[in-house]
Every structure is written in structure tokens, then in C-alpha cells.
Amino acid sequence: MSRQFTSVWTREPRSRPAGPGRSREEIVKAAVELLDAEGLGGLSMRKLGAKLMSGATSIYWYVATKDDLLELAYDEVWAEISVPDPDEAHWREVASVLAHSMRQAMLKHPWSADLIGRLPALGPHAIGVSERMRRTFRLAGFTGTDIDFAGATLTAFIFGMTTPEIAWETTVEGVWDTAAAQAALTKAAAGHPELLDAIGTMPDEDPRVMRAMAFDFGLVSVLDGLERRLAT
Amino acid sequence: MSRQFTSVWTREPRSRPAGPGRSREEIVKAAVELLDAEGLGGLSMRKLGAKLMSGATSIYWYVATKDDLLELAYDEVWAEISVPDPDEAHWREVASVLAHSMRQAMLKHPWSADLIGRLPALGPHAIGVSERMRRTFRLAGFTGTDIDFAGATLTAFIFGMTTPEIAWETTVEGVWDTAAAQAALTKAAAGHPELLDAIGTMPDEDPRVMRAMAFDFGLVSVLDGLERRLAT
DNA sequence: ACCTGAACACCGTTCAAGT
DNA sequence: ACCTGAACACCGTTCAAGT
């Protein structure tokens, strides 16, 4: 109840002068590569040490805990999210570009889906995105807490929509026999007419395209819904 | 690429006749209790064994892997989600009750936030909810893939909104000095006028109430947005 | 200032052996 | 049919010791 709030971003990094040793940037870069290649479960201090050709425990000189390292890597994902200048573009345009950009960043770094919404996002890049998003909704005409509510609604949608996409890509499409997965689904749907109909009438499109369509459908809905709030 | 798709729900449980030993239900019940009390990280086969007063490895007689156990526990969360009969209520009412009910189930079992959208939801209770949700959106007037898109949009919102709520409750409010957390946030917001304004004008309400308001704001927006799709 | 290896207290899972 | 303990290959982290 009274433990101190703590995050990489609230503590000073240990080494002020950059000596001859490694650097935080170097370590974070290697961590992101490992995460991209092997996922969240694939990152261990021992493996990361090996990749950096050092002892596993050397990393603890630069970073207090593995969680700190994850917070650092996490903010790199936010760095890839582009948000148009809210003072230059219409709010729907800003929100739409932000949404697609965030989805792409997540798809590129699947492990981020396990972190978004769970880790404090206090890194400079995450903060930068929040700042622009808030300004966007203020300029759109929202006031008071509605500014934050609108932002929370948008990010909830993006995050909530993209996470299952990633789960599907990294499990079913990634490693499993798709036909067998289909069969399992059909079996689970037995006795449920709606689900059987859904499976039966599923269009023969590229599933990636279908997912993009679903995302766009949802995004337009969310933006329309927010616009509706503005009218009343 | 060709590994067999696999899930607890696609394999036969080992023991057909219920002998004198433990049962799956008993084990899953104990697992849920442990998860509720200690979170996802608090569940280990050894601890669960101790709770059941048996060797840790005895559990493997009833359950193939820990992941299987999690799938089983996961479906118990879906069991707590109530969905009104789509043939009796207006679709907005069904969606709204479903949304609030799912949020409550997640808040009650915080560990579920780490599973939703990541684990295949093929258990009978999860399937039951999907079935009703699909029927709801069909009766609302959606057709073809739009039925699924509408459902995906709604669940993305619920899941995406509730996950950060849980993270906040279990970390900042749960274990940390709130004032210090506030200070950390203010520091991170330095130089960002929008965020500083947000912190400064934050109403003095109970944060739980604020979160419920944010959820309702977003839900109404999503439903309005979906209704808009119907009109065109 | 930086790096090391040994050690501690954990994991999930396998398997031969028991009853 | 069910349960056990030992063992294997891992974890994150601490710490005394090195350079």
C-alpha cells in the first residue's frame, strides 16, 4: 500500500559518463532484436548476455531489473508511432493515422501486445504520443474529462483489436496446421448455428486483408461515435 | 508451419471414469483461487500441488500442461459473463449488458486480462457468448462479415478499456504510494502542456467512479458508431 | 568503472518407480 | 488408475571477487 512507485523513467540511470563499456542504447537495441525474433518468452538475461558477448549478469550494471529493460524496449515501440500535427490536420485524420500507425508498430513488434496497457507508459515517446492525442481531441471540441475519455476509447479500440490479430498470427498462422485449426473450430462450434454460419460463409479472402477490413470498420465506427458526442 | 493445432478443448481428457482421485473441476477451481489471490505469476504447479495437498507433478495426470490448465481456468471467466437473450432484447441493450458484465468479470479476475485476446477461446462458455453476440448483431441488421466486424469492435473496446484499468488497480493503487506515483507522472509530463493541464484539472472524484464513467462514455460512442453503420 | 562466475531460490516437465 | 520424488534444463537476481 505504501511501496514507492517505481519505473525506469523515475530513476536516474547509473552511469553518467559514457565509459568504454556498453551502453543502455546498445543493450535495449539487442533486447528489441531478441524480442522481435523470439517473443517475450524468448528474452532472458542469459540469452541477452550471450548476444552481447558478455556475462548475463553484466547487464545489471546498466539496468536495475529485467522489467526496467522491458520498459525501455517498450518505449521504442511508441517511437515508431507517427501522429500528424493536431494543429494542421482534422482530428479524424490525426486519429486515423495514429490508429493505423499504432497497429503497424504492434504487428511489427508482436511482443508489445503483452506490454501495452499493462506497463506504465512513461517513456518520452509514449508521453509524446499522449500529448498529441490529447491536443487532437481538445481541438476537436471535447472539453474536461471528455478529452481523456475520447483518447482512452480510441486507444482501447486499437489495442483491443490488434492484440487478437497478433495472437492469431503468431499461433494459428505461425505454427499450426491451418486446416486442423479450422476443424477444431468447427468442432467447437457444433450446435451453435450462428457460429457454423459464420464459418460456412467466411469469404475466401486473404485473412490479413480481412483483418485490415475489420480494423477499418471498427475505426470508422469509433470515430463516428466520438463525433456524435461532439454534436450533443 | 504444420504443427497440429492444439488446445485443451480439442483433446480428450485422460480419465474417463471418475475414480477415487482428484478431478479436473477440483483442480481448475483451486487454480482459479490461486490466480485470484496471487495473479498469473503466482500460479505454479508446485504451489497448486501444495494447495491440493499432493505432489506438484500429480496434476499432470489430469492436465497435459500448465497452458491447458490456464485455458480451463480462462473459460470459467467467460462463464460469469451474462448476455441477455438476443431474441428478447434490443441489440443495444444486449451489447451494453454484455459489456458491463464482461468488464466486471475481468475486474474480478484480474489475471484474465493477460489471457483475453491471447489464448484461443474455444471453451464452452466462451463459445456460448460468441454465439449470442453474433445473433445479436445479425438481428440488429448487420449482414455478412459486418456481423463479425461489429462483434470484434465491441469486444476490442471492452477488453482494451478494461485491461489498463486492471493494470492501474493492481499496480499503482494496489502497491504504490499514490502521491509518489502522481509526482512521477507530473515529472514525466514536464514540458507537455496538454498533459500538465490534464493532471491539473483532474476532478477529485473516486478514481473508480471516473473509470466507470470513461467506460460508459466509450461504450455509448462505440454503440452509436455501430448504429451509424446500420443506417447507410 | 566495469565485468565475472558461483550461488540461491525458483520455474515447467519427464520419467521410472511405486501402490 | 493414480501418485510420488528425483532429475533436467531452464529462469531472475545477488554478491563477493576480480581488473
User: For residue range A66-77, what is the model confidence (pLDDT) as tens digits?
Assistant: 999 999 999 999
A43 pLDDT higher than 80: yes
**Residue A228, all three cell numbers:** 456524435
| Banded model confidence at residue A213, pLDDT cuts 50, 70, 90 | very high
Cell of A148: 481523456
Q: Does B39 touch chain A (CB under 8 A)?
A: no
Q: Is the CB of A46 under 7 A from strand C?
A: no
Judge: A153–B134 Cβ closer than 8 Å, yes or no: no
- Strand D nearby residues, CB < 7 A: A 43-47, 56-57, 60, 65-67; B 15, 17-22, 49, 54-55, 57-58, 60-62
Q: A144 to chain B: which residues are within 8 Å by CB?
A: 201
Mean pLDDT score, B46-59? 96
State the burial class of residue A204 (Cβ atoms within 10 Å of its Cβ: 0-12, 13-18, 19+).
Answer: exposed
Among B122, B210, B223, beta carbon nearest to A184: B122
Of A146, A161, A174, nearest to B152 by CB-CB distance is A161
Measuring CA to CA, which residue among B156, B188, B178 is closest to residue A71?
Answer: B188
Cα–Cα distances (Å) from A82 to A85, A94, A218, B160, in that order, read: 9, 9, 20, 20
Is residue B18 very low, low, confident or very high in pLDDT (cuts 50, 70, 90)? low
Grid cell locating B187? 515529472
- A7-21 average pLDDT score: 76
Are residues A185 and B122, on separate chains, in Cβ contact within 8 Å?
Answer: yes
Q: C-alpha cell of B179? A: 502521491
Would you state the pLDDT for residue A162?
98
Query: Cβ distance A181 to B5 under 8 Å?
Result: yes
Q: Phi then psi for A199, rounded to 5 degrees?
A: -65, -40
Residues of B in contact with A193 (CB under 8 A): 131
> Choosing among A111, A133, A134, A157, which should be mutated to test the B contact, i.e. which has the most B CBs within 10 A?
A157
pLDDT digits (tens, 9 = 90+) for B79-93: 999 999 999 999 999
Q: pLDDT grade, residue B194 (50/70/90)?
A: very high
**pLDDT above 80: residue A82:** yes
Look at residue A22 and tell me whether its pLDDT is greater than 50. yes
Q: pLDDT-derived band of residue A2, with 50, 70 and 90 as boundaries?
A: low
B195 touches chain A (CB under 8 A): yes
Which residues, in sequence order, are CB contacts of A226 under 8 Å at separation 6+?
A95, A140, A150, A153, A154, B221, B225
Q: Does A50 touch chain B (CB under 8 A)?
A: no
Sign of CA dihedral A19, A21, A23, A24: negative
Let me know: does A221 contact B226? Beta carbons within 8 Å.
yes
Residues from chain B that touch A135, judged by Cβ atoms under 8 A, are 194
Contact A217, B146 (CB under 8 A): yes
Mean pLDDT of A96-106: 98
CA pair distance B76, A223, nearest whole angstrom = 34
How many percent of chain A have pLDDT more than 90? Answer: 78
pLDDT digits (tens, 9 = 90+) for B108-128: 999 999 999 999 899 999 999
A174, pLDDT greater than 80? no
Provide the β-strand partners of residue A3.
Answer: B176
Written as one letter, the residue type at B122 is L
* Beta-carbon separation of A157 and B157 below 8 A: yes
Nucleotides of C under 7 A from a protein CB: 1-6, 10-15
Q: Does position A91 have pLDDT exceeding 80, yes or no?
A: yes
Which member of A153, A189, A203 has the closest CB to residue B221? A153
CATH class of A81-171+202-231: mainly alpha
d(CA A100, CA B166): 25
Coil/strand/helix, residue A79 = helix
Q: Cβ of residue B60 near strand C, that is under 7 Å?
A: yes
Residue with cell 495426470: B61
3-state secondary structure labels for all residues of A190-223: CCCHHHHHHHHCCCCCCHHHHHHHHHHHHHHHHH
Q: B153 and chain A: CB distance < 8 Å anywhere?
A: yes
Residue showing cell 499504432 = A102
B50 Rama class: left (phi>0) / alpha (psi -120 to 50) / beta: alpha
What integer is the mean pLDDT of B177-200? 89
Question: Backbone phi, then psi, for B176, in 5-degree steps?
Answer: -110, 155
Single pTM value for the model: 0.96
User: Looking at chain A, which residue has its C-alpha nearest residue B212?
Assistant: A149
Q: What stretch of H or E contains A187?
A: helix A178-188
B101 CB-near residues (< 8 Å, 6+ apart): B80, B81, B82, B83
- 3 state SS of A3: strand
- Judge whether residue A173 has pLDDT over 80: no
pLDDT for B15 equals 62
Q: Which of A19-23, A104-108, B136-140 is predicted with the least confidence, judged by mean pLDDT?
A: A19-23
The pLDDT value recorded for residue A1 is: 44
What's the rounded Cα separation, in Å, for the pair B76 and A58? 43
Of A62-66, A166-170, B30-34, B80-84, the one with minimum mean pLDDT is A166-170
Mean pLDDT over the full length of chain A:
93
Least CB–CB distance from B167: residue in A1, A118, A127:
A118
B216 touches strand C (CB under 7 A): no
Please determine, for residue A4, whether its predicted confidence score (pLDDT) is greater than 80. Answer: no
Give dist(CA A229, CA B8) in Å, integer: 44
% of chain B residues with pLDDT over 70: 96
User: What's the grid cell of residue B212?
Assistant: 466507470
Q: Which three cell numbers stand for residue B133?
A: 453476440
| Residue B1 confidence class, pLDDT cut points 50, 70, 90 | very low
User: What ranges make up the beta strands (E) of chain A?
Assistant: none
CB contact under 8 A, A225 and B229: no
The answer on pLDDT for B105 being more than 90 is: yes
Nearest to A24, CA basis, from A56, A64, A81: A64
- Fold exhibited by the domain B8-77: Arc Repressor Mutant, subunit A (1.10.10)
CA nearest to A69, candidates A50, A53, A48, A51: A48
Domain chopping of chain B, boundaries: 8-77, 81-171+202-231
Where is average pLDDT lowest: A56-65, A83-92, A134-143, A183-192? A183-192
Q: Where are the alpha helices (DSSP H) in chain B?
A: 24-38, 45-51, 66-79, 91-108, 124-140, 145-168, 174-175, 178-188, 193-200, 207-231
The CA distance from B137 to B146, in Å, is 9
| pLDDT-based confidence at residue A160 (cuts at 50, 70, 90) | very high
Distance B57 CA to D4 C1' (A): 8
